[in-house]
Structure 1
């Protein structure tokens, strides 16, 4: 069997029981879909993990009680079992109102080495993708729960990223996140000596109402071609100059319905006079319904858009200038489409 789709089992509490099916039943599974399980709190038990080495597609949807996809607590902390899903290319978590995390574990980095597409949609309780906090997941020697508040566990709980250093997607190509309102940061901030490059091609973020930062200041996205952000009302800017300079392949940028965004490119005084920022392949720029936006960039940078053909600006009433920089280079741009704005930006 290579495909298994389980749907509408309102009383089922476990996906698999040893007395019903041998573990080997799942050895050749390539696609697994779990849909509409009302009472199940965990989708895949740890004892099935080794049998899913051929799994390429995992979709979990519409499970009202699900709190985590994988239950790994009983695994030995020192046991090395390799990547969770060594050939998984697509992971979708959709409409899971109680989901807290993808998995909880004790050990090293959780790696999905071949994952290309990750889609998380409408998971209102999710704050972190994986969790390996011993104080939260495990009990004391007398089996009593540890009485520790979240702030005592995590001094920086208010900036806990969705993806921390304990999770790795080295080949992630497309990331789509929608309606995960508890997330304030997607990745952990990184240092100058530890810059991170990603092979991400498409990044789509929508309705993440507490998101304050799109990417860390020093994250490089040189393979990114499409960037779409909408209905993220805590964002005040989108990109730092360091990240922007890495966007050498970006072709499409769409920003819409973000109430607090004041500028797309965050300016820094110490860089303004000397920096030239080039969006080498950007063809389309859409700025739609951004009531606080004053300009694309308020810094005095030289901005170059050698491939820009289409700019659409709608309902950006505070936008009076596109850029305050000393020069703006757009050789292919013939017209900027405006709607419901004051003066046309220049």
Structure 2
């Protein structure tokens, strides 16, 4: 009898596949096998492995006694190699909560078992054996494309003899391995006497390392340049508190010509990105001109340099640069008076080498985010000679009260489209150089802004005539716009005010304004969002007539003191309802004023949309 079994789910302490009564044909069409809470120590014996000709996914969870998943011990007793050959087309392997798991595959010394199309391994316990026995089959992992390891207990992930078999590995993800100290162990490579046989070329494209508190080395030190990660495109290192560097110089030399994205966050001991080693006396073009398109360095309090020795970096392909809370590193080249410190002939522990040191015109960068010291220096105009002609999005986060010098900022970023400011600024929207300037950007985002009463008319009307999006989040302000400033926003399409605990009204009357100016028209405003404003009493407290000819999307929620929209008349010909929460609840009365009054008095007509 042939059973066309394609999916099997088994659970319970008595479950076992180690039964001679199982027919080889029984599992020949099996594509998915899920095992939960089984009591076996060895899950899949060799006689069952031989029948798994179609298995694509295996999931094993909550098996407290399991030590080995694939038991290959019986394979060594086979006399005829041909009859013992096995091919398993495994694509995905998930192992979770297996506290006694020692090996996925038990050790064997014959290369006649192949998991030929393996794509992914997702493990929450030890996956690769710590045994350094050379009897590991090269074919064991030769087709593995994705390796996902979580909450494992070993110290070294990939010993060299396993590394040699990872010919097809493209993605390596690690998270929460608290004891891990080394990812790729290359120590054994130094003992190889035949350079050709010891050369390793991996196709790894994506490396992600998260929450590894004891990680000391991604690549263990070695002195021979015969390991290549030439296909690596993305590296992400997050919350690795003991890691002092990401690469050694010898590894970086062969990698940075292809690496496109490097993200390093929350690594307290990180001092350099590239550390020196025995073969780092000279730097080639691939090192000084890395191919990176995105570089993000965040919360690295001890990071001083990209590379410890004297160097100058060029960034011919860099599009995104984010530097956040890395106050020890120098982003910009200092003036001549300090050049001896920056460009000393021999690097010392105190030497610093700026990230942007070669070209004063950075003509590839499109997004720039700076936080801390560098943001304060850039905003206050301390680097007037640098130009970023292609930067469209600029985000400055300050920790100290800073005066923004807009003339210098415009000179550095002549084609800016979106300006984001966060932190403390001294009169951020006023100053002697504001009125005469014409800013090109269309979007303005203000986050956690302090020391601001309202956006003055000179800033808005004279310097941002094409502003289409204004977003204010968590700003310590009491009013947002003066009436004169509001009238100048003739191109504004989106106005968003979120989580501003002190704001009492959005538009205030301009001091000295003629009382005959009673109309305020937002001719292009389409969307208005007011959310989390506990002290907001009204949109405007003066008797103006508001006209919103295109407004059709209004979201007003969590504004507990709001009693009316405005004191004067209001025209919203396209508005049919307003949204009052995140559950898509809409309400409407005859106009916006009545709708808000009824909503806050609990008398509502609900519109289902």
TM bracket (short chain): 0.5 to 0.7
Q: Which residue of 2 aligns with 1:205?
A: 446
Q: Which residue of 2 aligns with 1:125?
A: 399
Matched, 1:257 2:499: yes
Kindly indicate which of the two structures has a greater share of residues assigned to helix: 2
Is this contact kept in 1: 2:324–2:372, CA < 8 A? Answer: no
Matched, 1:217 2:217: no
Is this contact kept in 1: 2:430–2:459, CA < 8 A? Answer: no
Q: Which of residues 529, 547, 553 in structure 2 aligns to 1:310?
A: 553
User: Can you list the C-alpha shifts for 1:197-239, whole angstroms capped at 9, x where unaligned?
Assistant: 3332332222334444456634333433322212112x12112
Q: Secondary structure at the match of 2:331?
A: strand
- Long gaps (5+) in structure 2: 1-256, 340-357, 582-594, 601-609
Q: Which of residues 514, 522, 525 in structure 2 aligns to 1:282?
A: 525
Q: Secondary structure at the match of 2:525?
A: coil
Q: Distance in 2 between matches of 1:44 and 1:303?
A: 59
Q: Distance in 2 between matches of 1:30 and 1:216?
A: 42
Question: Aligned runs of 1:228-243 on 2, under 5 Å?
Answer: 228-233=471-476, 235-243=477-485
User: Can you list the C-alpha shifts for 1:105-134, whole angstroms capped at 9, x where unaligned?
Assistant: 8674654222101234xx562544xxxxxx
- Structure 1's 324 and 6: CA in aligned 2 closer, same or farther, altered over 3 A? closer
Is this contact kept in 2: 1:190–1:218, CA < 8 A? Answer: no
Question: Aligned runs of 1:29-178 on 2, under 5 Å?
Answer: 29=291, 31-35=293-297, 37-41=300-304, 48=312, 51-52=314-315, 55-61=318-324, 63=326, 65-66=327-328, 69-74=331-336, 84-93=361-370, 101=376, 103=378, 108=384, 110-120=386-396, 123=397, 125-128=399-402, 160-161=403-404, 163-168=405-410, 169-178=413-422
TM-score when scaled to structure 2? 0.41
Is this contact kept in 1: 2:454–2:482, CA < 8 A? Answer: no
- Structure 1's 40 and 191: CA in aligned 2 closer, same or farther, altered over 3 A? closer
Q: Secondary structure at the match of 1:167?
A: helix
- Structure 1's 279 and 261: CA in aligned 2 closer, same or farther, altered over 3 A? same
- Structure 1's 270 and 92: CA in aligned 2 closer, same or farther, altered over 3 A? closer
Is this contact kept in 1: 2:271–2:304, CA < 8 A? Answer: no
Q: Distance in 1 between matches of 2:508 and 2:501?
A: 16
- Long gaps (5+) in structure 1: 129-159
Q: Distance in 1 between matches of 2:322 and 2:273?
A: 17
Moved more, 164-173 or 31-40: 31-40
Matched, 1:244 2:486: yes
Q: Secondary structure at the match of 1:92?
A: strand
User: Can you list the C-alpha shifts for 1:254-291, whole angstroms capped at 9, x where unaligned?
Assistant: 21221222221231252342253221121221222323
Q: Secondary structure at the match of 1:208?
A: strand
Q: Distance in 2 between matches of 1:342 and 1:303?
A: 16
Is this contact kept in 2: 1:86–1:113, CA < 8 A? Answer: yes
Q: Distance in 1 between matches of 2:375 and 2:383?
A: 19
User: Can you list the C-alpha shifts for 1:151-201, whole angstroms capped at 9, x where unaligned?
Assistant: xxxxxxxxx23x5432222221223344x2x33443443579x34333323
Q: Secondary structure at the match of 1:101?
A: helix
- Structure 1's 24 and 315: CA in aligned 2 closer, same or farther, altered over 3 A? closer
Is this contact kept in 1: 2:564–2:596, CA < 8 A? Answer: no
Number of residues of Structure 1 aligned to a counterpart in Structure 2: 299
Q: Which of residues 564, 569, 573 in structure 2 aligns to 1:331?
A: 573
| 1:89 Cα offset (Å) | 1.0
Q: Which has the larger radius of gyration?
A: 2
- Structure 1's 5 and 310: CA in aligned 2 closer, same or farther, altered over 3 A? closer
Q: Distance in 2 between matches of 1:242 and 1:82?
A: 43
Q: Which has the higher contact order (CA 8 A, sep 6+)?
A: 1
| 1:59 Cα offset (Å) | 2.3
Is this contact kept in 2: 1:43–1:66, CA < 8 A? Answer: no
Q: Which residue of 1 aligns with 2:82?
A: none
Is this contact kept in 2: 1:66–1:98, CA < 8 A? Answer: no
Q: Which residue of 1 aligns with 2:355?
A: none
